[in-house]
Amino acid sequence: MRCENREVYEKLWGEALVAFREGRPQIDDQLRDKTGDLRRGVTLVLRPSAEVQRRTRDFMDGLAAVCPGQYAYPGEDLHVTVLSIVAGSVSWRREIRQLAACRDILRNVLRRQRSFTIRFRGVTASPGCVMIQGFPASDGLTLIREEVRAAFAHAGLGEMLDRRFKVKAAHMTAMRFCNAGADWNQLATVLERHRETNFGETTVDALELIWGDWYASGQTVRVLERYSLQGKSTAIR
């Protein structure tokens, strides 16, 4: 398991635990009516296996009983962000004009990459959400990210990536908080019990370039392209 990921998850957990114990989670008001949320973006993602989705869904069903009224990601919406290509915002139309150039770069870089495995084990959290921890079994994901970053920088598009923060880990967001009326201490206790729960592993042999809302909701997501990590890509639209 990658030590760097472990350090990221431990830091997040410490911050979340303080917020939960003090009763000050971050509530996302946009989730009460996503139709009013005009933020859109383009993201390179990977999808977990059906088994990982199932185990995550079972866990989330139990968590919903402890922390009701929150936004739980449907299994088909679960994803790991590889890189944010067009940062999610209301002004996405300005950067979407660079999308054709971005797709050319991604095809060129990703046709040289190979599949890799991620083990999903344990949960972590932030003050605003619950996450499933992902641990790449090799440097495959890191190499993809670094090669894409280098190619974007070479093309003069490096400023498009890592707008909010430099993506390093391989987690999946599973729940976001939109209801303040929860027993946050109880939530912290339940999450603590699942800090090492095994959610299975995924062999990642393809990546998706998607356009969608801030949450990558199935209702808004359009798959623009699928990239086989065996040397092929398929344009969708």
Percentage of residues of the chain with pLDDT beyond 90: 76
- The CA-atom distances, in angstroms, between 233 and each of 100, 145, 168, 227 are 15, 17, 24, 4
Token pair of 196 as six digits: 């090492």
pLDDT, residue 176, reads 96
Mean of per-residue pLDDT scores for the chain: 91
Average the pLDDT over 51-55 and give the result.
Answer: 97
Q: CB–CB of 61/190 below 8 Å?
A: no
Q: CB–CB of 189/104 below 8 Å?
A: no
Percentage of residues of the chain with pLDDT beyond 70: 95
DSSP 47: -
Q: The domain containing residue 45 runs over which residues?
A: 3-21+37-235
Number of folded domains that form the chain: 1
pLDDT tens column, 73-94: 999 999 999 999 988 888 777 8
**Does 32 map to a domain?**
no
Average the pLDDT over 30-47 and give the result.
Answer: 88
Q: How far, in Å, CA of 171 to CA of 194, rounded?
A: 15
Nearest to 236 by CA among 4, 82, 42, 7: 42
**Does 82 map to a domain?**
yes
pLDDT, residue 168, reads 87
**Does 47 map to a domain?**
yes
pLDDT, residue 3, reads 62
Nearest to 67 by CA among 128, 9, 10, 12: 128
**Does 168 map to a domain?**
yes
CATH of the domain at 196: 3.90.1140.10
**Does 31 map to a domain?**
no
Q: How far, in Å, CA of 98 to CA of 49, rounded?
A: 31
**Does 26 map to a domain?**
no
pLDDT, residue 229, reads 94
Average the pLDDT over 106-124 and give the result.
Answer: 96
- The alpha carbon torsion through 103, 235, 212, 146 (nearest 10 deg) reads -40
**Does 81 map to a domain?**
yes
Q: How many CB atoms lie within 10 A of CB 169?
A: 21
pLDDT tens column, 203-230: 999 999 999 998 999 889 999 999 999 8
Q: Which residues touch 226 (CB under 8 Å, ≥6 apart)?
A: 206, 207, 208, 209, 233, 234, 236
Residue 129 has pLDDT above 90, yes or no: yes
Q: How far, in Å, CA of 117 to CA of 59, rounded?
A: 22
Q: How far, in Å, CA of 133 to CA of 205, rounded?
A: 19
pLDDT, residue 95, reads 80
Angle at 178 between CA 49 and CA 162, to 5 degrees: 60
Question: What sections of 22-135 are H helices per DSSP?
Answer: 50-66, 92-96, 99-110
Residue 2 has pLDDT above 70, yes or no: no
**Does 27 map to a domain?**
no
DSSP 77: G
Q: Which residues touch 51 (CB under 8 Å, ≥6 apart)?
A: 200
Average the pLDDT over 54-80 and give the result.
Answer: 94
Angle at 98 between CA 226 and CA 40, to 5 degrees: 70
Residue 162 has pLDDT above 60, yes or no: yes
Q: Which residues touch 178 (CB under 8 Å, ≥6 apart)?
A: 27, 28, 29, 31, 32, 69, 70, 71
Nearest to 167 by CA among 152, 146, 181: 146
pLDDT, residue 1, reads 45
